[in-house]
């Protein structure tokens, strides 16, 4: 199955994607994680991406679409994939229709006022990108999955998060209607414990 996870920054896309992909045995493709890898490795794409990500803006469609097109052409996507954070504009969604067929789009819905708290308290693994929250891990700063160090993402500062939420409302939220019109949108309540969100998504996928 080809799945897209849609949701505001902090809605829990990465958290759910990690569990879902393990369950369904399909690759987790997060454009945010791909860009962060490029930034770490100081590649030309990383250089371009950093200038946008640091401001909370979107990386240009042309750069992002090409990365996803090439990634979906890889052999491990033949039996399905999960896209996390792509598409993020109507132009990206139209481009995706040109090179792959999405079966279902899951919109993870979380009240706006909860998103900032989730993001500001997030710590991510610098090695495998797993997300945690200080509310649940206390002082621990080591990844349970791979033993990597947990870090605070550079774009998780309050001002940048405000800009990311603004960009989501203006550029990404229109995708809700875009996919509803195509009859493939399923909305789930993301304001539940992570394991309960996972079971809501599992039900929606049946």
Looking at the Cβ atoms of 12 and 106, the one nearer to ligand AP5 is 12
Interaction mask 99-118, Mg ion, x per CB under 5 A: --------------------
Which of Mg ion, ligand AP5, none binds 9 (CB below 5-8 Å, type-dependent)? ligand AP5
- Which of the ranges 13-21, 50-58, 66-74, 117-125 carries the binding residues for Mg ion, by CB under 5 A? 13-21
Phi, psi of 29 (to 5 degrees): -115, 105
Closest by Cα among 30, 174, 186, 29 to 105: 186
Size of the site for Mg ion (CB under 5 A): 1
Looking at the Cβ atoms of 172 and 185, the one nearer to ligand AP5 is 172
> Do the beta carbons of residue 22 and residue 121 sit within 8 Å?
no
10 touches Mg ion by CB under 5 A: no
Site of tokens 């997300």? 131
Looking at the Cβ atoms of 12 and 89, the one nearer to Mg ion is 12
Angle of CA points 125, 193, 182, to nearest 5°: 90
CA distances from 46 to 29, 58, 158, 206 (A): 17, 13, 23, 38
Looking at the Cβ atoms of 26 and 31, the one nearer to ligand AP5 is 31
Least distance between ligand AP5 and beta carbon 89 (Å): 7
DSSP state of 142: B
DSSP state of 192: S
> Under 8 Å CB-to-CB from 43, ≥6 apart: which residues?
none
56 touches Mg ion by CB under 5 A: no
For β-strands 81-84 and 2-6, DSSP reports them as parallel
Q: What is the C-alpha separation between 197 and 112, in angstroms, rounded?
A: 17
14 touches Mg ion by CB under 5 A: yes
Binding residues for ligand AP5, per CB under 6 A? Answer: 7, 9-15, 30-32, 35, 52-53, 56-59, 64, 85-86, 88, 92, 118-119, 121-122, 131-133, 155, 164, 192-194, 197
Residues involved in catalysis: 13, 88, 122, 153, 164
Least distance between Mg ion and beta carbon 14 (Å): 3
Give the interface with Mg ion as residue ranges (CB under 5 A): 14
């Amino acid at each position: 199955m080809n799945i897209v996870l849609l949701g505001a920054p902090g809605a829990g896309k990465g958290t759910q994607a990690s569990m879902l992909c393990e369950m369904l045995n399909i690759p987790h493709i997060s454009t945010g994680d791909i860009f962060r890898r490029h930034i770490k490795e100081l590649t030309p794409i990383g250089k371009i991406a950093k200038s946008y990500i640091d401001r909370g803006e979107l990386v240009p469609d042309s750069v992002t679409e090409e990365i996803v097109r090439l990634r979906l052409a890889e052999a491990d996507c033949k039996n399905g994939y999960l896209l996390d954070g792509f598409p993020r504009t109507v132009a990206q969604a139209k481009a995706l229709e040109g090179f792959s067929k999405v079966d279902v789009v899951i919109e993870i819905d979380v009240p706006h006022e909860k998103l900032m708290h989730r993001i500001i308290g997030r710590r991510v693994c610098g090695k495998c990108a797993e997300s945690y929250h200080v509310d649940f891990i206390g002082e621990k700063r080591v990844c349970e999955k791979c033993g990597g160090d947990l870090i605070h993402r550079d774009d998780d500062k309050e001002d940048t998060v405000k800009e990311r939420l603004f960009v989501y409302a203006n550029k990404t939220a229109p995708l809700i209607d875009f996919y509803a019109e195509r009859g493939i949108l399923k909305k789930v309540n993301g304001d539940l414990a992570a394991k309960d969100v996972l079971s809501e998504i599992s039900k929606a996928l049946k």
